[in-house]
Amino acid sequence: MSRPPPDRESVNRILAAPRTRPFRRLRDHAAYMLLTGTYPSHLWPYSTRLLVLISANAPGALAHSAGAVRLIDPEIAEALGLANHPMVEAVREHLAQGYRIRVSQGPNERKPYSKVWLFKAGEEITIQIDGTRTQGWV
């Protein structure tokens, strides 16, 4: 038996319990969306639906990618503490140094929420969910 799809009340319950696993999971997924402007791939339908509820189509994600861009509701971003998320902080530092975001490795490749790929003048790096940096796209 599958659980019913989440609604706005589901989001409110998650936001009211910041020490829980659903909160941390939603925060990580939303951090990826904030940076790339797109949904991570390979999520459970329930998780994707939560992201639909907290976002809207708009231009202007940090990735500056073409096409439909998903932005997180500013109030939700604040409630999730996305400005202080380790991956968001690390990626913003690198963007200030001239790096650009690569959303995926190719058109049919995965977009894992746990990492963001960056590049600059032939250099490729990966920022992990915990804010650590690795050389190359791993």
pLDDT tens by residue, 78-96: 999 999 999 999 999 999 9
Q: Does residue 73 form part of some domain?
A: yes
The mean pLDDT of 70-85, rounded to a whole number, is 94
Q: Is the pLDDT of residue 41 over 80?
A: yes
pLDDT at 138 over 90: no
CA 106/CA 96 separation, integer angstroms: 25
Question: What DSSP character marks residue 22?
Answer: H
Overall average pLDDT of the 109-114 stretch: 89
- Provide mean pLDDT across the span 21-28: 97
* Tokens 């140094």 sit on residue: 97
- Cα Rg of the chain (Å, integer): 15
Determine the average pLDDT of the residues in 65-86: 85
Does residue 31 fall inside a structural domain?
Answer: yes
- The tokens 């796209």 sit on which residue? 137
Q: Token pair for residue 80?
A: 């999730």
Instruction: Confirm whether 30 is domain-assigned.
Output: yes
Q: Let me know if residue 93 belongs to a domain.
A: yes
Q: Has residue 104 been placed in a domain?
A: yes
Mean pLDDT of the chain: 89
> What pLDDT, on a 0 to 100 scale, did the predictor assign at position 91?
97
User: How many structural domains is the chain composed of?
Assistant: 1
pLDDT value at residue 130: 97
Query: Is residue 126 one of the residues assigned to a domain?
Result: yes
Residue 36 lies in domain: 8-135
Residue 3 inside a domain? The answer is no
pLDDT at 101: 93
- Does the residue 1 lie in any domain? no
User: Band of the pLDDT at 1, cuts 50, 70, 90?
Assistant: low
Calpha distance 124→82 (Å, rounded): 24
